[in-house]
Amino acid sequence: MKTTAHLIATLTASTLLAACGNNPPVPDWQMNAQSSIERSTAAYMSGNARVEAAEYQRSRAALASTGKVDLMIRAELIRCAARVASLVFEDCAGYDKLSQDASPADRAYAAYLSGRASAADIALLPPQHQPVASGASTTQAITDPLSKLVASGVLLRTGKATPQVLSDAVDTASAQGWRRPLLAWLGVQAMRAEKSGDTAEAQRVKRRIDLVSEKP
């Protein structure tokens, strides 16, 4: 999944996969970790908890075999980012256990995910997230789907998500076929419509929720 690989690349100067060409063969752990992280994230976004958990454990095993704490930290941050994108605002427990060895950039990203990024953190964040951390209330300039949903989740977590942010998040999750975040963002839309007294809109969104919730 390109979005996961993109996030890894923005969190570290060296990606999990080395370039091809005249370089030495890519170690098995790198290929296994990369593919498992991608499958784990995809499974989570689609709402498949069983596959997500299994692939997450495979990625951890592959990364643990290297003793590289920095890569383990970034894998945990990717997992936490998927939850923020799906509006699951919980402690990033896996990262917290390793946080004492985190780099300044990783600490900044973790703070951003929790909605507590400081002014000093902004320059350390991936470029696409810097505007939101700086106070922007729009995600329209972000083209990467996962990054857009993560930024949208941060805005909602900090009370800055506008109706346009909600609409863009719904459209993004829908375009990717990501059931979990789509249901979460539709739920927020329905709640806001109810609170504003727009019964017709709330019912329309709930009909869409019912459609997405249908079992195969």
Q: How far is CA 10 from CA 6, 80, 163, 170, 210, in A?
A: 6, 15, 28, 24, 36
pLDDT of residue 86: 97
* 31 vs 130: which has the higher pLDDT: 130
The predicted model scores a pTM of: 0.88
pLDDT of residue 17: 37
Question: Looking at the predicted structure, is the pLDDT value of residue 4 above 90?
Answer: no
pLDDT per residue over 61-104, tens digit each?
999 999 999 999 999 999 999 999 999 999 999 999 999 999 99
Name the pLDDT band for 22 (thresholds 50, 70, 90): low
Sequence-distant (≥ 6) Cβ neighbours of residue 47 within 8 angstroms: 179, 180, 183
Question: Looking at the predicted structure, is the pLDDT value of residue 20 above 80?
Answer: no
